[in-house]
Structure formats: C-alpha cells, structure tokens
Structure 1
Amino acid sequence: MSNRIIHLYMDELGRISQWNAIVTGGLAGISAALLTYPLEVVETRLIAQNCRESTYRGVVHTLSSINRHEGFLALYRGFSLTILGAVPFSIGCYVVFINLDKLWQEHHFRFTSLQNFINGCLAAGVAQTLSFPFETIKRKMQAQSPLLPHCGGVDVHFTGMIDCFKQVIKTKGVLSLWSGITANMLKIIPYYGLLFSCFEMCKQFCLYQNGYTESPLSYKLKPGVDQSLGPQELQEFKRYLRNRQIQAQSSSMGNRWQT
C-alpha cells in the first residue's frame, strides 16, 4: 500500500520531495490505522476495566461485545484524533529534519550512527510533544463506556471530541493535556532513535550491496560509478562489464593457443 502511494507522488526521475514524503507517509499511516485501530480500542478497554469485575474476556470477546452493545462505530471512537494528531507529529519531525544540517554543521549523508540515533530522539521528542494532547483525548474517548465501572474510569464525562477537550481543560487545566508525557517519552524517544539509526545502517548496507559505495559503514561513493543509475540498471551494467571481461580473457587465451 505504501509503495503504491509513494509512486503517485514521484516525479519522472523517481524522486519525491520532503512535503510529498510527509503526505505519503501520512496516507500510509492512515491506511494502516484503519485496519489496526479497533485493536487499539480493545487494548485501552482491557486496561481500563476493573480486574475484579471483568467486563471483557480477551481480544475477540472485547471486539464482539463492543460491536454488539455499542455499535461498530464504537470501535473507531477517537479515530479522527489519530488523523489530527498526525499533522503536528509530521510537522515536528519535518522541522527537526530540515534543521539537522545546521545542528551538526555538516551534510546529512555524513552523519554517524550515534548522530542518527540522536536525530531520531530529537525528532520524536518534538513531534510527540506537539501531538500528545490529541493522544490524551483519544485515550479518554476509547476508554469511556457505559458498560465499564465508572464509565471506564475516565476523570471527565463528555459527549464528543470537542467537549472532551473543553472538559479536560476546564476541570484539570491546559497542562493536563500533557499528563503522562514523561512515561510516553521514555518509550517513544529511544524507539525512534533506534528506528532512525537502523534505517540509515540498512540504507548504507543496501547502497554497498548495489555497488554505489565503497563500504557498508560509510556513504563514501565508489569511484567510476554513475550515481544516477538505478539499482537494477547498475546491476545490469556490472554484468555487462563482467561479461566483457570474460570475453576479453577468452579471446586472449585463444590468441595464446594460436601462437
């Protein structure tokens, strides 16, 4: 799915701009969320229920119970917040990304694994801080249910997304929208740090495997290689050179036998 979306935004040379990358990433994320969001609601309900008076018994029972008693749309309660939260999250990542060159005073293709790890941590920290209020409201909407004790244990009662924002700010203050962000950061920041560094390491290895660089541990370009060639074109060119070398060796051996 993500590859099909990316191809829609590519130019004739197969390149994609940063803003188009954000759009395609967002569309791919929304597509994935549509399939997995009910499981996220189930997770929240299982956490929110009272263990002594369990309303739900496992994933399948929770899914069927919500669908039967609250309707199918209840499985997607708060889904719009996932989309809205993706906007500040993407902008936060983009703002960090375009300023990394200024931060390190060097081009991005010279970053070390440690620098890439720090980049991921910074991007996740900024993006999560901007989008966390949407995550807070989304969790409250997922947890609220008349079937659970105290309506799922939520500290405010509301009728919709906007009303939930109003009630939280009215009763607990604006800063309560970021309640729990420290624990979330402890999970998200190293996750994205490792994601950035592992992605760059895999990219380095793939470039080396395809013959573009001299080593899988650096971005140093291999001399004499046309960097505008695609991976398949480069492999075909290497096979062509290899065949020419074999033919040249065969002809030289034939000349020796003739002499």
Structure 2
Amino acid sequence: MAMIGVFQGLRAIGQKEGLLGYYKGNGAMMARIFPYAAIQFMSYEQYKKLLKSYFNGRESPVHRLLAGSLAGVTCVTFTYPLDLVRARLAFQVSENRYTGIAHAFRTIYAEEGGLRAMFSGFRPTIYGMIPYAGLSFFTNETLKAFFLENMTSITTKPVHKRDGTAPDPTLRELTYTTNLLCGGIAGGVAQTFAYPFDVVRRRMQLNRGLPDGQATSTIRTLVYILRHDGFFRGWYRGMSLNYMRVVPQAAVSFTTYEFLKRMLQIEDRSIVKVG
C-alpha cells in the first residue's frame, strides 16, 4: 500500500481497517510505556546524582547530556522486546499473522531464532537512543533553566503551598504551559538528530532492511537507504508524521513527570526567588 503523505496514509488505513486500524499494537505500546517511562526517569535521576558525585557535587550541561543518554540506553535494554512486538502488531496490513501480544512473542521466538530474534534492530535503537535521550533531557532542562533565569515574569507562577496558606510572592516556579513548551521542543530537537536510526530500527524489526531480507548491519542499512532513497526521502521519510507524534508525547511526558514530582514532593522543586 503506497502512502504518499501523512493524511493520505491516515485515510488509507481508515478505509481499509476502520477505526481500530489506528490502534494496532497499542496494547503492546501500553504494556511497554509503563516500565519504559519509569525506568527512564528513575535512572536519569540516579545517573545525574552519580555523575555529580564524581565532580564534587557540581552539575553542568554535560552531566544532563550523559545522564540522559545512559537513562535511554537503560530503559531500552529492559523494554526492547515489547517495542519489537508493538512494531510487528502495528504494521500488519496484508495479513494478521499475530493475534495478540503473547502470540507474537511465541511466534517470533519459535520461528525467527529464539531470544536473539526478540532483539532484532536493538543495535540501531541504542545508537539512536544515545543522542535522542541525551538531547531530550539536556534540551528540556536547559530551556527550563533559561526561562527561570531570564523570563521569570511570563513563564513562572507563585509557588503553591500544600498547607493552603498564601503563597510566598518571592518564590516562583515554571507554569505547566512553559513545561509543555520545553518538553515539546526537547522532543523535536532530539528526534531530528536520532530519526535515521529510527528508520533503520523499524526496517530491521520488520525484516525489511535490505533486498535479501538480512539487515545485519546498521551502517550497511543506512548506506543502502541513502543510496537508493536519498537523504530526505530515505533517512527522514515520515519525519513530519513523527514530529506530530513525538512533540506532544515528549511535552506531556516531561510535564507529567514534573507534576508528579511536585505532588509527591520527592525532591526540591525548580523555583526561583524574585524581589
């Protein structure tokens, strides 16, 4: 099925498979996203503390970048088989080979090489996750720090007190709108740099890497795509749709994390004193 663009593709899926076609693989996505997000944010905070301890308690943008990359690698390592199954379920078009998550696991394991098959495409995923997670955390925290220091009057609000007393007018925190903006920009910037590896990952997960069906090398697949499809139509094919997915996803993810930290009071909030 040829898909010329985003809206043509959405229309074609709706006509062929109905409303449920848009949610193929969503069960596997939900099963994956809970441990994925939990491990990613937890490990990011731990890596950041660990890196700070090696530099006498000082934090720099480099620490955010490294901690984000390490957190990304950690969460992908633990949740990758679920991502593979989600991709297989989502891209069933001509035939429904898999009837569900458990059936997909059993079929891939039995017919494609056991445990190794469950990690098909793992290497390009790691290559892409290093810049993606690193840049997303780095960009998000850098933007938050910038807004706190330079645009306090329009990007912050008085710190809300849980005991119901009046807020201290000299203490302000970022608004949720600002957090959404920071998270969305972070997701877009990170995805721009990591997207070619995402293309390779999908090809390898779906056994569509190279003409012989064996995408055993990330570099080999990248070179093949560049030579046959070009830079934009190859490495960045489908990028517009991916922005539509990643930007709001990252915005909501980072903002929800900040909201939960404030609600649970698990650490000091990012606040600034004015006046």
1:173 to 220, 223, 230: 230
Distance 1:133 1:166 in 2: 11
1:36 to 55, 75, 79: 79
Partners of 1:204 and 1:219 within 8 A in 2:
no
More displaced 10-residue stretch of structure 1: 70-79 or 159-168: 159-168
How many residues align? The count is 208
1:105 to 121, 140, 150: 150
Query: In the superposition, relative to structure 1, how do residues 16 and 139 fare at CA in structure 2: closer, same or farther (>3 Å)?
Result: same
Partner AA of 2:242 in structure 1: N
Distance 2:83 2:69 in 1: 18
How large is the Cα RMSD of the aligned pairs?
A: 3.7
Partners of 1:168 and 1:177 within 8 A in 2:
yes
1:69 aligned to 2:126? no
1:197 to 231, 255, 273: 255
- Aligned-pair distance for 1:18? 3.6
Could you say what secondary structure the match of 1:60 adopts? helix
More displaced 10-residue stretch of structure 1: 86-95 or 36-45: 86-95
1:24 aligned to 2:67? yes
- Aligned-pair distance for 1:29? 2.7
Partners of 1:26 and 1:86 within 8 A in 2:
yes
Where relative contact order (Cα < 8 A, 6+ residues apart) is larger, the structure is: 2
Query: In the superposition, relative to structure 1, how do residues 36 and 128 fare at CA in structure 2: closer, same or farther (>3 Å)?
Result: same
Partners of 2:68 and 2:135 within 8 A in 1:
no
- Aligned-pair distance for 1:180? 1.3
In structure 2, the residue matched to 1:254 is none
Query: In the superposition, relative to structure 1, how do residues 23 and 44 fare at CA in structure 2: closer, same or farther (>3 Å)?
Result: same
Partner AA of 1:8 in structure 2: L
Contiguous gaps of at least 5 residues in structure 2: 1-41, 156-171
Matches within 5 A, 1:65-214: 65-71=107-113, 72-93=115-136, 94-95=138-139, 97-98=141-142, 101=146, 105-106=150-151, 111-144=174-207, 156=211, 157-160=213-216, 161-175=218-232, 176-205=234-263
* TM-superposition CA deviations, 1:92-114 (whole Å, max 9, x none): 33256436628983368753322
Greater Rg over alpha carbons, structure: 1
* TM-superposition CA deviations, 1:107-152 (whole Å, max 9, x none): 68753322221111111111111111111110000001xxxxxxx6
Distance 1:96 1:7 in 2: 18
Query: In the superposition, relative to structure 1, how do residues 63 and 204 fare at CA in structure 2: closer, same or farther (>3 Å)?
Result: closer
* TM-superposition CA deviations, 1:168-223 (whole Å, max 9, x none): 1122111121111222211211122223333444445566x99x89xxxx94669x
In structure 1, the residue matched to 2:3 is none
Partners of 1:132 and 1:177 within 8 A in 2:
yes
TM-score by length of 1: 0.65
In structure 2, the residue matched to 1:237 is none
Distance 1:73 1:80 in 2: 12
Counting aligned pairs with the same residue, the percent is 27
